[in-house]
Chain A
């Protein structure tokens, strides 16, 4: 699985959404399932998928689908 596929998989599984909803508009609280609980689940899923440990600040600024990609590629060497 490519990194993008792994990334998408985590979003779709945790938020119970389809691939068509993975857009630049997908943000924290833009859908009901991305609440604080969902956020924690997403972080857990991504840490497992990429075998990383995310820093506090990165978890807190991970506010959208595109922002997350930026954080993972800049700070955790995950290439998309």
Chain B
């Protein structure tokens, strides 16, 4: 079993915003009770994720008893949510009880801790590959049906490795500053549940007073953030807050600006805390590299070295390994945490391991003479908006579906998507549409009206000509 809570069953696994504590013993017992509601083994279970004890009860029980969860964002646009459910037709849903009536074609079987298990009325048992443990979304917000297939070995290996390099133990008390459908947020949960630590579950964000109240009252020891969260912390004058219990700050989910890397590194050094820049992808379960905190200020801009059990290589355009430092190529990762592959439809869940431990990351990288790695760009067309991957081609397709005959091209930089159109009258509408459809704040989108879309003689869009707008 992935989560064996028996050796620390008296520990508290979670404390919620109402100060209610939940023990590992209860998580174990109710997990077993929940599992009694299944009539078949190896079911596909869709989880609508929130940082609550109920959500984690389903998640841990499903993984322990061989049911396979699909983790979906609770804030996903409803049209996209139902399309995702329709695509995979999961036999069971595990959803907040207050939302159960939204799901037509499902009936309730069990409820615990404000979550309910719903069973599909026209339930059909489907075959799932024996090693398949968990399914995570990649480009969550566009509602793409593309899921990352993770095995039991993947989760176990990555969890163990992260615990080792972050030195996590049962006295650790992280606060949930990231959603748990997101691989980085989930890795925080996995590593602490396996160590017997206590999760401080909160619905508040770092921009709310209540969040910091929880941090202080509960003696939170660590916080995890994507680059945008660190920008918020900086704006909040985080450095002046008195947070004695906080010892560890981790960062992943995109490249932090050099300025903030240095600023937080300096702050950590002066206040005796650890600031750890990391690198990962859902395709590698979560984590592939980390910058040891003692090297934080020596290696600004670096994402560090491979995690225990992992290995990097950088390859040139002919797939030959680059051995000269400071030479850019595509980053390759090897390790037991490399996912099995992708799924786009139900049949794909029978697929076996397509990657065999090797991941082409799609990130362009180099290493220095001391073996520290740096990400310098991306091979594929996507951006990270507030830590979440957004595929630019998929976004263009969404717009094309809903705005017929509109010339539209997407580009941009992390946290700022540029949408180029030629029809001025659609400017406001596009901004609103994307913000609602992709559920990002409108400030993440900059709609620019241009005379015509730049194309080469064969009609291919010249994305590089649009980069002058990103400055």
Contact = CB atoms under 8 A, between A and B. Distances in A.
Nearest to A61: B209
B362 interface: no
B207 A36 contact: yes
Interface string B334-349: 0000000000000000
A40 B232 contact: yes
A55 B228 contact: no
B431 A36 contact: no
Interface string B432-469: 10011000111110000000000000000000000000
Given A56-B237, A56-B241, A60-B236, A28 B441 contact: no
A43 B443 CA distance: 13
A21 interface: no
B444 A59 contact: no
B121 interface: no
A37 B386 contact: yes
B231 to A, nearest CB: 7
Contacts of A56: 236-238, 240-241
- Scoring A37, A55, A61 by chain B CB atoms within 10 A of each residue's CB, the highest score goes to A37
A38 interface: yes
Interface in B287-342: none
B208 A41 contact: no
B407 interface: no
Contacts of B240: 56
A75 to B, nearest CB: 14
Contacts, number: 50
Interface string B194-212: 0000000000011111001
What secondary structure prevails in chain B residues at the interface with A? helix
Interface string B203-238: 001111100100000000000000010011001111
Interface string A21-54: 0000000100011011111110110000000000
A71 interface: no
B235 A43 contact: yes
Contact of B235 (A28, A38, A40): A40
B232 A60 contact: no
Contacts of B228: 37
Contact of B232 (A16, A36, A55): A36
A16 B431 contact: yes
Given A33-B442, A36-B208, A43-B235, 8 more contacts: A16-B431, A16-B432, A16-B435, A36-B232, A39-B207, A56-B237, A60-B209, A60-B212
The 6 closest A-B pairs by CB, nearest first: A36-B205, A37-B441, A36-B207, A60-B209, A39-B207, A56-B237
Interface of B: 205-209, 212, 228, 231-232, 235-238, 240-241, 386, 431-432, 435-436, 440-444
17 contacts: A14-B443, A16-B431, A16-B442, A33-B435, A33-B442, A36-B205, A36-B232, A40-B207, A41-B443, A43-B235, A55-B237, A56-B236, A56-B241, A59-B207, A60-B207, A60-B208, A60-B212
